[in-house]
Chain A
Amino acid sequence: GQQVMQIPQYQHVQEGEDFTTYCNSSTTLSNIQWYKQRPGGHPVFLIQLVKSGEVKKQKRLTFQFGEAKKNSSLHITATQTTDVGTYFCAGLSGRPGGYNKLIFGAGTRLAVHP
């Protein structure tokens, strides 16, 4: 079945360093979403990418959707301690006439050392 792989599983950075997490799907996606889960909390929606090659920015966060719509990345510039948490990608593959449920990656846990 469809799989969404996310790497790395863990990332430890010093505050001020950059961070990137990558997401790869076994099938072409109609869109991809990113969520953040703070320690002890629940996932919160960050952004959705729909178009091939799309790039979106939210302050220090940059999200990309690959040209083939099978991969995506999240890049954080100059990490801060408030960036700590687990970042999940979730892919939606369109199946005409069928229900299209999100497939979540396993997440990348980010630790930021002050």
Chain B
Amino acid sequence: DGGITQSPKYLFRKEGQNVTLSCEQNLNHDAMYWYRQDPGQGLRLIYYSQIVNDFQKGDIAEGYSVSREKKESFPLTVTSAQKNPTAFYLCASSTPEGLAGGANIQYFGAGTRLSVL
């Protein structure tokens, strides 16, 4: 069953703690993304990766870090430097650019809800 798996579904962070959100995909997509969604808001891009061992900052990268050691995996670490981490975090992967009839279509995981204790 192909798709994107995010874990955990819910996560609680203590002050000063780093936490890591997992994202795994078996769609064989090169590109992967992390978005943050605040209540009633749209999607803001945190980081994206077009290929293994390469990633780029999005619009709100401060306080976050990522790695892309494997094509299937794109974990996100919310560091203690992120002072307002409470949000819904969505991971996505996308179809290739230039794909006829379906370029850059994003497939999302079910998300992780992060709260601060």
Binding site for B on A (CB under 8 A): 6, 31, 33, 35, 41-45, 48, 88, 90, 92, 99-102, 104-107, 109
Q: Is the CB of B106 within 8 A of A43?
A: yes
Chain B: interface residue count, which band? 20 to 34
Count A-B contacts at CB 8 Å: 52
- Known interface pairs A42-B90, A43-B43, A104-B43. Does A99 touch B105 (Cβ–Cβ under 8 Å)? no
Closest B residue to A99 using CB positions? B50
Q: Is the CB of B104 within 8 A of A43?
A: no
Q: Contacts of A92 on B, CB cut-off 8 Å?
A: 103-104
Interface of A is mostly: strand
- Known interface pairs A43-B90, A99-B56, A100-B97. Does A106 touch B110 (Cβ–Cβ under 8 Å)? no
Docked CA distance A33–B99 (Å) = 14
Q: Contacts of A102 on B, CB cut-off 8 Å?
A: 94, 104, 106
B16 within 8 A of partner (CB): no
Binding site for A on B (CB under 8 A): 33, 35, 40-43, 45, 48, 50, 56, 58, 90, 94, 97, 101-111
Docked CA distance A33–B42 (Å) = 14
Q: Is the CB of A42 within 8 A of B108?
A: yes
Q: Which of A90, A100, A106 contacts B41 (CB 8 A)?
A: A106
Docked CA distance A106–B90 (Å) = 15
Docked CA distance A102–B56 (Å) = 14
Q: Which of A42, A48, A88, A107 contacts B105 (CB 8 A)?
A: A48
Most chain B beta-carbon neighbours within 10 Å: one of A45, A88, A92, A101: A101
Further 8 A-B residue pairs, CB within 8 A, beyond A33-B106, A99-B50: A31-B104, A42-B110, A43-B43, A44-B108, A100-B104, A101-B33, A101-B58, A107-B42
Q: Contacts of B48 on A, CB cut-off 8 Å?
A: 101
Q: Contacts of B43 on A, CB cut-off 8 Å?
A: 43, 88, 104
Docked CA distance A59–B43 (Å) = 27
Docked CA distance A31–B109 (Å) = 23
